[in-house]
Structure 1
Amino acid sequence: MERYHIIKQVGEGSFGRVYQAIDHLTGQYVAIKQLKPNCHPMSYLPEVRALQILQHPKIVGFKGAERQHNTVFLVFEYMDGSLRHLINHRLRMGVPFSEAEIKFFSFQVLQGLDFMHRNRRFMHRDLKPENLLVNKHGVLKISDLGSATEIESDESLFHHHYVTTRSYRAPEMLLRMFLKNKKLRPFEYDEKVDMWAVGVIIAELYLMRPLFIAESSADQLKEICKVIGAPTWESWMNWPKLEPEKGFGFRALVTSASESALDLIESLCSWDPSNRPSAAEALRHPFFTRGRNVLAPPPGFSRCPRPMMRYVVNKNVPKMTSMQQPIY
């Protein structure tokens, strides 16, 4: 291979494989996502388009794409691992996140979302710790834009409700299951589904485990009701009755969080999307504005171990010649 030298495989998913490589022109590490052979263009073109539009310091950098024979490669800046890897590492070490660290990570997620929502009018729709990449200095970047779509696009209203991983799926997406007429368009939603996911992720950083876990959408709604209670406002009366009417609340669950943290989580995890703050509003919440500077790593920040990922030794790595400009 010419410009890129593939070092090792660092991940694998339904889309294909991810490799760590070195860019000979810059001497920097890159991540190369090799998609499955003969994949349909619509399986990657929306992500490529979103990556080119959403260029921001808190969104993973996209370096280019190449179609070689019947295989497509996407090249990204290299990050040491994901927030999920870091959570698992801390669990193994028995070291919980400090509130300063949680502020530091959460603030960066909201910075990326503020740009995505307000400046580019996109919503991510699949925020979760696996899609938040971090490096050894604690810099966090939003990744995996395969489900990202424009907020005002009419087409976005017809996307399926299950794009978001269930544990981080907002109630308005979960309620799609109650539509009896399958020809009806899915329950409408907007960028506030990302804000719900942020609230769930912040709570998870305190708990060191996912906040809501269930095997189905119906059970997921029940788990949500246990914490925040069932919705009672008039506009939702046509939906099946959910119980319990009163939940035990986040204060009983996330016991190590400060009052300002709990207030932010509760506002983000509101049944009514209109009651959830925007990313810009959340950035101005007292949780971030009071106390130390959230733009720098907390004192004594425990660096992410390298490697955080479980590397897969694979000698049959792809051969690549040159990288072209992004294709779409």
Structure 2
Amino acid sequence: MTNVYKVLIIGAGPIGIACALECKKRNWHYVVLEKGALTNSLFNYPKNMTFFSTSEKLEIDDIPFISNNPKPNRDEALEYYRRVATSNELNIRLYEEVMTIKKLEDNFVVTSSKTKYHVNKVIIASGFYDIPTLLNVPGEDLPKVTHYYNEAHPYAMQDVVVVGASNSSVDAALEIWRKGGNVTMVIRGSEIGERVKYWVRPDIINRIKEGSIKAYYNSEVVEIVDTEITIKTPDGKITLPNDFVVALTGYSPNFEFLINSGIKLSNDKARLPQYDPDTMETNILGLYLAGVICGGMETHKWFIENSRIHAKIIIEHIETLSTKKI
């Protein structure tokens, strides 16, 4: 079965939803494809996560986001974006992964895990939460190792190593400790990350100072086995008893997918995808980027609050092109 659309949007996160709303306003024939659940990245955030941003900065299309506190939590965000999608009856197809994007002369053929689409324009708003940054050490594939953190209860009364010093690592370490886990942090740098939420950073620093949570700075994991973990520290290698490893070392966009779609990336570590910031159009005419994926490996560059505008920029550019053809 072949489907024909004016615009195909990849990713049903907040920015993908914002793009769909702009298309619907213009009565365009569009579709959103999402490989997982609605707002899949947010769904995979820790259950008790609180956003750094206030609720009004997470709003899309001026639709009010009312939360119990100034900074909403994960469940409130899921409810908000779910309500926006359902109340506006957006054309979103979930659990349908996009496999390839092929540019023809004036349009694209997009192949998904379920069917093929012929579309005029494509917007990639897929985020960067897909591929974890691996430790690349022996034992990383053991069942006790995870790169995603959900909740603390499974780690109660267990020896847990949390790798990293970002917001997710700090939140996990504090929650697990408070639920009765014996927490050790392994931190590559010399301190807790400067971007850690300002109301949380003093908490973790104090817990480390008082010895409630053990931290090894300028250190890294070198090997994981069933009941132990070996860490390289400035004072040499040490081996600790260990039940679980929560390696929250960051994530990256699916660069292979971008490259296979024809998008050029910078040659430096940032691996920035090529696009025009005035239109969000990539080096492939008719193929656009929106949201955090625009930052490549600079995953702290774009957020919901500062990339919401991408939806209007892209759709207005497509509208301008359509007008010129008339």
TM-score scaled by structure 1?
0.27
- Between the two structures, name the one with larger relative contact order (CA 8 Å, sep ≥ 6): 1
- Bigger Rg, which one: 2
